[in-house]
Structure formats: C-alpha cells, structure tokens
C-alpha cells in the first residue's frame, strides 16, 4: 500500500506539538540528502569505457547460467535482516 500525501498530512495533524520539531528536522535531513544525491548524480563523470568483446561474452555467460537455472536473481533473495544499532559510548575527555 502506498502512502499518499493525504496520509502524511493526516499523520502530521495527529502528532502532538512536542513532536513537530523532530519531524521537521527529519524531513529537512531527508530533503538535504536527496538534493546532495541528485547533485552527485548530475555531476558524475560519464562512463566512457567501451564495452569489449570479453564483456559481451561475460554477459552472455551470465544470462545462459540464469536461463539454465543456475544462480539466484536479486529479486529472489530474501531481505537482509536489519542489524540492531549499538549505541556508542562517548569517552571522557582526558
């Protein structure tokens, strides 16, 4: 089920005032990350290396393996379990 803007507006409207600063900081962070990624992508150098006959042979070999039932497609892999984050303790300043 996709979340729509209406769903988000409803959720924000249900939040207590005390939670709004945190939500705003989170959304600003997400927007900044998206802008930086877009900028990196836009300024990334073009891959100008030609595809070699060796590359084409490797692609064909991989496709033949998949067609023969060997290997696993990424879409068929189980999701990777999330590793719990361990909080880091700050060391006292000496």
- Give CA–CA dist 38/30, Å, rounded: 12
The answer to whether 55 and 47 have CB atoms below 8 angstroms apart is no
CB atoms within 10 A of CB 12: 13
Mean pLDDT of the chain: 88
Contacts of 12 (CB under 8 A, 6+ apart): 20, 23
Query: Residue 91 corresponds to which tokens in the numbers above?
Result: 């060391």
Residues 40-47: what's their mean pLDDT?
Answer: 90
Domain ranges of the chain: 19-43
Q: Is the pTM of this model over 0.75?
A: no
Q: Give the pLDDT score at 92.
A: 67
Q: What is the pLDDT of residue 79?
A: 86
Measure the CA–CA gap between 33 and 85, rounded to whole angstroms.
21
């Amino acid at each position: 089920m996709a979340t729509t803007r209406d769903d988000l507006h409803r959720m924000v409207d249900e939040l207590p005032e005390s939670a709004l600063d945190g939500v705003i900081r989170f959304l600003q962070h997400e927007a900044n990350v998206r802008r930086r990624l877009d900028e990196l992508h836009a300024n990334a150098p073009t891959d100008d290396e030609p595809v070699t006959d060796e590359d084409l042979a490797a692609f064909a070999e991989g496709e033949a393996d998949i067609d023969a039932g060997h290997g696993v497609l990424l879409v068929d892999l189980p999701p990777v379990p999330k590793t719990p984050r361990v909080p880091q303790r700050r060391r006292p300043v000496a």
